[in-house]
Amino acid sequence: MNFTFHNPTKVYFGRGKIGFLNDEIKKGTKVLLTYGSLSIKKNGLYDEVRAILEKLDCEIHELSGIEPNPKLSSVRNGIKICRDKNVEFILAVGGGSVIDASKAISIGAKSDTDVWNLIIKKEFPVDRIPLGSILTLSATGTEMNPNSVITNDENNQKVGFAHRPFTFPVFSILDPTYTISVPRNQTINGIVDTISHLLEQYFNAEENAELVDRFCESSISYMMEIAPKLLDNLDDYKLREAMMYTSFVGLNGTLSVAGGDWATHEIEHSISGIFDIPHGVGLAIITPNWMKYVATKKPDKIIKLGKKLFNLDQDELTDIEFCHMVANKFKEFFKSIGVQTSLKECGITEDSLEILVENTFPINDKIGEYVELVRDDVREILKSSM
């Protein structure tokens, strides 16, 4: 494997780490405070952050209401505030959606082009407004990586992008306390998202990535072990801490040095871009069906995963039969924690099949690394997911 690894984000992990805001934000800074729902006001985090910024004599501006699948329109609103108020620092307080939107705002506010051109990589940033984050939902790992996903609410295209080093947060504060109030359904989606990120990196095309594979296998196993315990004890600090650590380690670049497939995410982006379903739900639906489909082309790693993760014995099963058993194990797990495993359960029918296929390819004509997929492949995966 040949790679260059650099992660400049400073992470403050643990109880009470919000105090380090005093070290990271200079007195008198013009700050844009971004957040989503009113949950941070209910749990007191909003007041806590405002008090620290006010004590630092910061000029505070706000962008609230950032959506669970963050919209381009919200990003543009944030860019306008930054330009009108000469914002010097962006502080994102929330989950992955808030941080993702804030990343796009940070580069868009310092560019002469429309931010969508940066998102689809038609043009590239040359500067940014520095960004920090306070995480309130464990899932995406965006708090320690350069990745962002934005939905264009004009054409329903949901596109993931990264612009190193501009879209790395300068710092992120990860206090599990702020995730204790996350409701059950959002916790479930975060569990699925974390597992999906690990699977995407597990299905890399490298021939000499055994240690990465083992990290992924053990992390997936750990998440599947603690998930039911956490869902039975949503206010358990230690379990929230374990999930928070696993989700940010799962996508901070350490495991992606060997590459990754990401086709499942691309297909899911099409679904949630059009129908606005939770990202975790879409991933739970697509993942087992992606496995079954690619098993006909390249079963090796699915077989390996089944033996290592579930301790399954192939016996006299064919490779395809064994891979289907592995895929069904994941489907059973997703069902067991209470997430939908078919598009029909979300009200999505085959009438939408062609638009979903086309929307999977907003930029390129192929997706996937472990197995490359084109439109006909995606159509079959979506059909089996209905």
Overall average pLDDT of the 121-127 stretch: 96
Q: What is the pTM of this model?
A: 0.96
CB neighbourhood size of 62 (10 A): 14
Q: Is residue 5 part of a domain?
A: no
> Within a 13 Å sphere around the CA of 348, how many CA atoms are in the beta-carbon half?
27
Give the closest residue to 44 by CA, choosing from 177, 237, 231. Answer: 177
The burial class, CB within 10 Å (0-12 / 13-18 / 19+), for 51 is exposed
Asked, for residue 4, whether it belongs to a domain, the answer is: no
pLDDT in tens, 287-319: 999 999 999 999 999 999 999 999 999 999 999
Domain boundary among 179, 198, 223: 179
Tell whether 321 is covered by a domain. Answer: yes
pLDDT class of 38 with cuts at 50, 70, 90: confident
State the Cα–Cα distance between residues 218 and 264, nearest whole angstrom: 21
Among the three residues 179, 197, 221, which one is the final residue of a domain in this structure? 179
Residues 217, 294, single domain; the answer is yes
Can you count the helices (H) and strands (E) in the chain? 15, 8
pLDDT, tens digit, 9 for 90 and up, residues 55-69 = 999 999 999 999 999
**74 confidence band (pLDDT: 50, 70, 90):** very high
Q: If you average pLDDT over residues 242-248, what whole number do you get?
A: 96
> Is 175 in the same domain as 210?
no
Do residue 173 and residue 198 come from a single domain? no
Q: What's the whole-number average pLDDT of the chain? A: 96
- Same domain? 174 vs 279: no
293 and 175 share one domain: no
Owner of token pair 């289907």: 324
Residue 37 has pLDDT above 90, yes or no: no
How far is it, in rounded angstroms, from Cα 360 to Cα 117? 18
pLDDT in tens, 249-263: 999 999 999 999 999
Q: Is residue 3 part of a domain?
A: no
Residue 84 buriedness (CB in 10 A; 0-12 / 13-18 / 19+)? exposed
Domain that holds residue 377: 184-385
Phi and psi dihedrals of 32, rounded to 5?
Answer: -100, 115
Do 279 and 340 belong together in one domain? yes
- Given this model, what pLDDT does residue 2 score? 86
Of 353, 359, 360, 339, the closest CA to residue 382 belongs to 353
Q: How many domains does the chain have?
A: 2
Handedness of CA 22, 25, 26, 32 (dihedral sign): negative
pLDDT at 1: 74
Question: Do 171 and 24 belong to one domain?
Answer: yes
CATH of the domain at 380: 1.20.1090.10
Last residue of a domain, one of 117, 149, 179: 179
For residues 221-238, average pLDDT: 98
Instruction: State pLDDT tens for residues 322-361.
Output: 999 999 999 999 999 999 999 999 999 999 999 999 999 9
Question: Which residue type sits at 98?
Answer: V
Whether residues 289 and 208 fall in one domain: yes
Q: Output the domain CATH number for residue 75.
A: 3.40.50.1970
Tell whether the model's pLDDT for residue 124 goes beyond 90: yes
Nearest CA to 219 out of 322, 141, 303 is that of 141
Instruction: Check residue 282 and give its pLDDT.
Output: 97
Please write the tens of the pLDDT for every residue from 355-382: 999 999 998 999 999 999 999 999 999 9
